[in-house]
């Protein structure tokens, strides 16, 4: 299949036959037109234009070139002026010509100039085509980002819908919380659930899936799979903390996902009448006990991640006294530079300063201290239980 000839529009009142012959001899298809009545579409169909511009047609040629450049817009057609006076050089270039050549022009010189401009035109066409492709790709990416943004917003609303709107007051127990996700969708989740007239379960957990939506969906799965109370006919049984975590662990392991979903959790059961407290821990930060008249201390307990392999979760039991507080929190509370229990533990220092406050003001002040002092790259959750 032969390559189509480059079409050259030769404009002039009476362009020389030698010029046309030279162009056709160089392999160009030549169309001749006068200065009047040239349709810009005809110019657009050409690969280049050559204008033979005598002095008397200078203004007409300028007007034509300006009009063509405007109407062709981004479509680039090279234009060569053949002039007889030096003054026409500036006029031609100013009106849109790419080159202005003083006559007489050697045929090989004109052909070489045309071929050079056609190479530029070819490069321009390729760049324009890629620009159009990039624009279409950008539009598709914007549509995809809008879809992702909409999905993230829906996931955020669902995730927030599973978090408690307010903290309950049950018996002698009071609760306060500060939750600061590092992104629109956080992996942390928490709750305080009334189990019967005397007991509540309290937990803070962190779900780590592949990506933010996966973490949020994982937290929803964990929340829906948690069994804190079993109904047995007309009676019920409160499921001990260790058993709650064991069941959750088996549910997550049984998902048989290609990559295990890592979940950490601290689960606590509290008698709101007498202050008896039991808890179990699955690789979550240790709870911090804040007594009214002694130094705060971490309650250390063993326990592995949920969702990795079969494991046991030992239960600890403690007795709260009036005025005592217990803090449950996520790993975002301790920045990487300061681990828990060290000589400069910011959490210990803050709770010492504010332990006299009621539970929600206490949580607010501690959170303010921690968030102001350092950068926290993880979700920040601080939940306090107070036995009044």
Read off the pLDDT of residues 201-246 as tens digits, 9 standing for 90 and up.
999 998 875 555 556 667 778 888 889 999 988 899 999 999 999 9
What mean pLDDT comes out for the span 340-345? Answer: 68
pLDDT at 3: 52
Of residues 223 and 62, which shows the higher confidence score?
Answer: 62
2: confidence class by pLDDT, cuts 50, 70, 90: very low
CATH code for the domain in which residue 47 is found: 3.40.50.2300
Mean pLDDT of the chain: 85
On whether residue 72 sits in a domain, the answer given is yes
1: confidence class by pLDDT, cuts 50, 70, 90: very low
On whether residue 139 sits in a domain, the answer given is no
Whether the predicted model's global pTM rises above the 0.75 cut: no
On whether residue 117 sits in a domain, the answer given is yes
Please indicate, yes or no, whether residues 210 and 115 belong to a single structural domain of this protein. no
Of residues 202 and 106, which shows the higher confidence score?
Answer: 202
- List, as own/partner pairs, every contact residues 362-371 make where C-beta atoms lie below 8 angstroms and the sequence separation is at least 24, other chains included: 362/176, 362/325, 362/386, 363/176, 363/177, 363/178, 364/176, 364/178, 366/178, 366/327, 367/178, 367/180, 370/333, 370/346, 371/180
Full domain range(s) for residue 317: 162-387
Please indicate, yes or no, whether residues 187 and 120 belong to a single structural domain of this protein. no
Q: Is 230 exposed, middle or buried (0-12, 13-18, 19+ CB in 10 A)?
A: exposed
Q: CA 208: distance to chain centroid?
A: 18
Of residues 230 and 258, which shows the higher confidence score?
Answer: 230
Domain boundary among 129, 146, 173: 129
* Neighbour tally for 136: CB within 10 Å: 10
Domain boundary among 104, 129, 154: 129
What mean pLDDT comes out for the span 312-335? Answer: 91
Please indicate, yes or no, whether residues 181 and 266 belong to a single structural domain of this protein. yes
State the residue for tokens 């201290």.
Answer: 369
On whether residue 157 sits in a domain, the answer given is no
pLDDT at 72: 86
On whether residue 221 sits in a domain, the answer given is yes
Q: Angle 241-253/212-225 helices, nearest 10 degrees?
A: 130
- The sign of the torsion formed by the CA atoms of 340, 341, 345, 349 equals positive
What mean pLDDT comes out for the span 190-200? Answer: 93
**What percent of the chain stands above pLDDT 90?**
36
State the residue for tokens 């709650």.
Answer: 244
368: confidence class by pLDDT, cuts 50, 70, 90: very high
**297-298 and 315-319 as β-strands: parallel, antiparallel, unpaired?**
unpaired
From 10-14, 109-113, 171-175, 228-232, the region with the lowest mean pLDDT: 10-14
Please indicate, yes or no, whether residues 124 and 197 belong to a single structural domain of this protein. no
What mean pLDDT comes out for the span 153-159? Answer: 63
């Amino acid at each position: 299949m032969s390559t189509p000839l480059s079409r050259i529009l030769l404009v002039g009142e009476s362009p020389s036959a030698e010029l046309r012959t030279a162009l056709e001899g160089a392999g160009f298809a030549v169309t001749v037109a006068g200065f009047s009545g040239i349709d810009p579409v005809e110019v657009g169909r050409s690969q280049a234009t050559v204008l033979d511009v005598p002095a008397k047609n200078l203004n007409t040629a300028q007007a034509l070139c300006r009009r063509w450049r405007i109407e062709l817009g981004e479509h680039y057609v090279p234009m060569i002026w053949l002039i007889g006076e030096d003054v026409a050089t500036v006029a031609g270039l100013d009106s849109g010509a790419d080159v202005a050549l003083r006559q007489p022009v050697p045929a090989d010189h004109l052909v070489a100039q045309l071929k050079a401009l056609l190479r530029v035109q070819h490069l321009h066409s390729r760049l324009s085509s890629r620009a159009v492709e990039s624009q279409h790709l950008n539009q598709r990416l914007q549509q995809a980002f809008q879809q992702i943004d909409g999905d993230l917003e829906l996931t955020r609303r669902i995730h927030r819908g599973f978090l408690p709107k307010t903290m309950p007051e049950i018996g002698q127990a009071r609760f306060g919380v500060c939750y600061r996700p590092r992104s629109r969708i956080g992996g942390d989740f928490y709750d305080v659930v009334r189990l019967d007239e005397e007991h509540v379960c309290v937990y803070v957990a962190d779900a780590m899936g592949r990506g933010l939506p996966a973490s949020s969906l994982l937290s929803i799965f964990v929340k829906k799979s948690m069994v804190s109370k079993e109904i047995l006919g007309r009676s019920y049984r409160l499921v001990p903390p260790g058993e709650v975590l064991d069941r959750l662990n088996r549910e997550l392991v049984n998902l048989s996902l290609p990559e295990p979903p890592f979940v950490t959790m601290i689960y606590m059961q509290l008698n709101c009448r007498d202050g008896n407290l039991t808890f179990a821990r699955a690789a979550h930060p240790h709870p911090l006990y804040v007594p009214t008249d002694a130094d705060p201390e971490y309650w250390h307990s063993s326990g592995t991640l949920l969702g990795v392999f079969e494991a046991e979760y030992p239960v600890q039991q403690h007795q709260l006294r009036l005025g005592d507080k217990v803090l449950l929190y996520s790993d975002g509370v301790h920045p990487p530079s300061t681990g828990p229990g060290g000589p400069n533990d910011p959490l210990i220092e803050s709770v010492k300063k504010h332990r006299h406050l009621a539970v929600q003001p206490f949580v607010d002040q501690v959170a303010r201290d921690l968030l102001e002092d350092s950068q926290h790259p993880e979700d920040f959750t601080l939940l306090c239980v107070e036995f009044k």
